[in-house]
Amino acid sequence: MPDSRRAAVVDFHIHCYDRPLRAPESFVAFMDRELAKTYGSFAQFLERYGSAESYLRVLDDAGADYGVILAELAPITSAIASNETVEALCAGQPRLIPFASLNPYLTENPARQLERLVRDHGFHGLKLYPTYSYFYPNDPKLYPVYAKAQELGIPVKWHTGTSVFPASRLKYGDPVYIDDVAVDFPDLVAIITHSGRPIWYETAYTLARLRPNVYMEIAGLPPRRLLTYFPDLERVSDKVLFGSDWPSVPTLKGNIEAIRALPLSDRAKEQVLGGNAARILGLGDPRRVSYAGPKPTDV
């Protein structure tokens, strides 16, 4: 359980996968290589990590208090983590925070779907994958989704920068397109996942510095090199979110320790590791209720 004697640690970027696995062969081959040293194979990882308890052990082993669990609907590029899978994993677990995903090409009315996912199924945010599903973040067809997210008071995060998956298209990963969304929806928390790695670090930093509602998430970036990528990180430390990208980056504990070792102020490190996430997600707010399962009418 979270330790009230210290600031909360929140991993804002944790993946899960549907079972049976639905993914292109190229994705499975990559994950086999990526996870070979730690788990043996992707199949062995999936066998070991399929329950809420297994994810909670990952958090406990790293000294993390909360984890944001991400849905992913990108069948042409990577594996599927359906909203239903994420919901089931997080049900009744206040330390596991479900983020939905929508694919604008697969959903007839994504704004209405988002409202249902949040109001009826307890999702606390939205993750979009422009480079995986081929759309720009400022595409007008997504504006009803952003309007609904702003109305619901949930954050939206976008995959930005590069991807190792062969079918991804990098042109959609430039975070500059998030600027339009931030300006047009000033009350929407807009999160630049991966901080534009590695092509658009300066763009991500500039947006976080200039736009009050824009945050940088550092998932997948080697923590020891953060000050190389962002020499003035202290200046925007109240706009930076820690994320591990687990299991692609299996060293969750090591990442947390590396951030604590950076030459930043104690306050900056606390904000990055969880203070900013706790504020965005309302952690510690008694009005935040853990979702326990589907309503009878949804079954």
Residue 285 has pLDDT above 70, yes or no: no
Q: CA 121 to CA 113: how far, in whole Å?
A: 11
* Angle of CA points 50, 55, 58, to nearest 5°: 130
Of 19-23, 107-111, 191-195, which range is least confident? 19-23
**Cβ distance 241 to 276 under 8 Å?**
yes
Share of the chain above pLDDT 70, in %: 93
- What is the rounded average pLDDT of the residues 221-243? 97
Q: CA 110 to CA 269: how far, in whole Å?
A: 36
CA-closest candidate to residue 18, choices 93, 69, 92, 61: 69
Compute the CA torsion angle 26, 27, 32, 38 (nearest 10 deg).
160
Burial grade of 26 (CB within 10 A; 0-12, 13-18, 19 or more): middle
Catalogue all structural domains in the chain, each as residue range(s) with its CATH number: 10-283 (3.20.20.140)
With H, G, I as helix, E, B as strand and everything else as coil, classify residue 288. Answer: coil
Q: CA 269 to CA 71: how far, in whole Å?
A: 27
115 or 287: which carries more pLDDT confidence?
Answer: 115
Tell me what pLDDT residue 2 has.
58
pLDDT in tens, 249-275: 777 999 999 999 999 999 999 999 999
Q: Sorting pLDDT into bands at 50, 70 and 90, what band is 5?
A: low
Instruction: Write phi, then psi, for 265 (nearest 5 degrees).
Output: -65, 155
- What is the rounded average pLDDT of the residues 11-26? 91
Give, rounded to a whole angstrom, the gap between the first and last alpha carbons of the chain: 31
- What is the rounded average pLDDT of the residues 59-81? 94
What is the residue-wise DSSP string for 69-129?
Answer: EEPB--TTTS--B-HHHHHHHHTT-TTEEEEEE--TTT-S-HHHHHHHHHHHH---EEEE-
Q: CA 14 to CA 252: how far, in whole Å?
A: 10
Half-sphere exposure of 227 (CA within 13 A, CB side): 13
